[in-house]
């Protein structure tokens, strides 16, 4: 096999891989037939969803996967939240008997359809792209996660459909 440098790689991360904090979350059918959604029922609360970015890891310099951006697919159909925000974190795997260290925040920009609070907070179906300011190589001791925070009024329901990691693959 020869050298591979593919700048158009994508990996789907299903909603079943996400972790939710606060609220009553269930797996449900999405608003569109044949979709699966991680569904938060209506309740006034701040809900946090963490999506692990599942990409190949490599301990070689600039080999493996270089994360460029993440597209997050979600629906806010019953009512609009007060705010919808994202963070991208990198964690380093600890050595044996050691604890995880603090997460490092990675700088990113929102796409033009979600770069203002009003665009992210509206009642609609969303594809929100988070483009890293500096793409990162996923080393063998790094975990990357996207964390979404929704401040919800009593009528707000959320459906997280999943995410797509966009990356360069080199080996």
Could you tell me the residue ranges of all domains in the chain? 5-170
Question: In sequence order, what are the beta bridge partners of 67?
Answer: 136, 167
What are φ and ψ of residue 117, in 5° steps?
-60, -40
Question: Which pLDDT band, with edges at 50, 70 and 90, does 150 fall under?
Answer: very high
Mean pLDDT over 41-62 rounds to 95
**Beta-carbon contacts of residue 144 (< 8 Å; ≥ 6 apart):** 52, 53, 55, 67, 88, 89, 90, 91, 106, 136, 138
Question: Which pLDDT band, with edges at 50, 70 and 90, does 90 fall under?
Answer: very high
List the one residue out of 140, 131, 146, 134 whose CA is nearest residue 63: 140
Provide the mean pLDDT of the chain: 94
Please write the tens of the pLDDT for every residue from 101-130: 899 999 999 999 999 999 999 999 999 999
What is the CATH number assigned to the segment(s) 5-170? 2.60.120.260
Q: Which of 1-5, 139-143, 157-161 has the lowest mean pLDDT?
A: 1-5
User: Three-state DSSP class for 12?
Assistant: strand
The reported pLDDT for the residue numbered 26 is: 94
Looking at the chain, which runs of residues are DSSP E strands? 5-14, 19-21, 25-29, 36-40, 45-53, 64-76, 83-92, 104-105, 108-110, 124-137, 142-152, 158-170
């Amino acid at each position: 096999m020869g050298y591979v440098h593919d700048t158009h790689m994508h990996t789907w991360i299903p909603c079943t891989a996400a972790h939710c904090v606060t609220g009553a979350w269930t797996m449900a059918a999405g608003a569109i037939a044949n979709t699966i959604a991680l569904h938060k029922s209506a309740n006034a609360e701040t809900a946090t969803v963490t999506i692990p970015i599942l990409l190949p890891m490599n301990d070689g310099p600039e080999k493996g996967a270089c994360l460029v951006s993440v597209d997050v697919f979600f629906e806010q159909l019953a009512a609009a939240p007060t705010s919808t925000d994202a963070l991208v974190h990198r964690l380093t795997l600890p050595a044996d008997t050691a604890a995880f260290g603090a997460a490092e925040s990675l700088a990113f920009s929102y796409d033009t359809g979600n770069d203002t609070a009003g665009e992210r907070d509206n009642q609609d179906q969303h594809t929100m792209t988070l483009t890293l300011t500096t793409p990162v190589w996923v080393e063998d001791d790094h975990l990357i996660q996207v964390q979404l925070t929704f401040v919800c009024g009593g009528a707000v329901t959320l459906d997280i459909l999943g995410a797509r990691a966009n990356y360069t693959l080199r080996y």
